[in-house]
Amino acid sequence: MSSIPPGLSRVPNLIMSRNALASITRSSVGLYAVQQQLSTGSRISRPGEDPVAAATLSILDARLERSAQIVRNLDHASASLASLDTALGEASDLVLEARQIALDQVNSTYSESDRAAQATVVDSLLQQLFSLSNRTGVQGHLFGGTAPGTPPVTEFFGAYRYAAPSGGLLTDLRHGSAAPLTLGNGNAIGATSARVAGFVDLDPSLTAATRLNDLRGARGLGVATGSISMRFDGGPAATIDLSNADSVGDVTDALTAAIRLYESDNGVTILGPAGVSASGGSISIDIVPGPPDPQLTFADIGSGVTAKDLGLASDATPISFDATSALGRDTQPRLAWTAPLASLQTLDLAGAGPLGSIRISNAGRTRDLDLSGAVTLQDIKNTIESAGLGVRVVINSAGTGIDVLSEVSGPSSMAMSITDASGTNPTATRLGIRTFAPETLVSELNSGRGVRIVHNQTDPITGLPDPNRDVDFRIALGDTAGTFLTVDLRPQDMTSMQAVLARINSQLDDAAAAAGYPAGTVRAAIGATTNGIILTRTGSFTGNMTVESANNSGAAQDLGLLASDTSTDGSTVTGSDPASIRPDNLFTALLDLREALATNSTSGIAIAGERLGRFVDRVAQDRGTVGAYARRIDQDLSQEEGRKTVDLATRSRLIDTDFAEAATRLTLLQTQLTAGMQAASMATSRTLLDFLG
Output the pTM of the full model. Answer: 0.79
Secondary structure of residue 526 in the 3-state scheme: strand
Query: What's the pLDDT score for residue 687?
Result: 61
Which residues, in sequence order, are bridge partners of residue 172?
178
pLDDT tens, position by position, 87-115: 999 999 999 999 999 999 988 788 999 99
Query: What's the pLDDT score for residue 564?
Result: 84
pLDDT tens, position by position, 188-219: 887 776 567 778 899 899 999 999 999 999 99
Query: What's the pLDDT score for residue 1?
Result: 46
**Confidence band, pLDDT 50/70/90 cuts, at residue 133:** very high
- Alpha-carbon distance of 597 to 494, in angstroms, equals 31
Mean pLDDT, to the nearest integer, of 634-653?
Answer: 84
Q: Residue ranges of the alpha helices (H) in 9-166?
A: 13-40, 51-105, 112-133
Query: What's the pLDDT score for residue 344?
Result: 92
How far is it between the farthest Cα atoms of the chain?
A: 166
Q: Which ranges in the chain are annotated with CATH 1.20.1330.10?
A: 63-193+586-641
- Environment class of residue 232 by beta-carbon count within 10 Å: exposed (0-12), middle (13-18) or buried (19+)? buried
Q: How far, CA to CA in Å, does 413 sit from each of 61, 363, 364?
A: 64, 8, 7
DSSP 185-228: BTSSSS----EE---S---BPP-TT-BGGGB--TTSS-----EE
Residue 106, C-beta contacts closer than 8 angstroms, at least 6 positions apart: 602, 605, 606, 609
User: pLDDT exceeding 70 applies to what percent of the chain?
Assistant: 94
Secondary structure of residue 462 in the 3-state scheme: coil
Q: How far, CA to CA in Å, does 560 sit from each of 64, 142, 531, 625?
A: 67, 39, 10, 39
Residue 505, C-beta contacts closer than 8 angstroms, at least 6 positions apart: 523, 524
Counting Cα atoms < 13 Å in the Cβ hemisphere of 688 gives 3
Average predicted confidence (pLDDT) for the chain = 88
Please tell me the least confidently modeled range out of 363-377, 468-482, 642-656: 642-656
646 alpha-carbon distance from chain centroid: 41
Return the sign of the alpha-carbon dihedral for residues 11, 17, 19, 23: positive
Mean pLDDT, to the nearest integer, of 218-242?
Answer: 94
Q: What stretches of 543-640 adopt beta strand conformation (E)?
A: 546-549, 565-566, 572-574
Is 371's pLDDT higher than 90? yes
**Confidence band, pLDDT 50/70/90 cuts, at residue 688:** low
Q: Which CATH architecture best describes the domain 63-193+586-641? A: Up-down Bundle (1.20)
pLDDT tens, position by position, 536-594: 999 889 899 999 999 999 999 999 999 889 999 999 999 999 999 888 889 999 999 99
Query: What's the pLDDT score for residue 195?
Result: 65
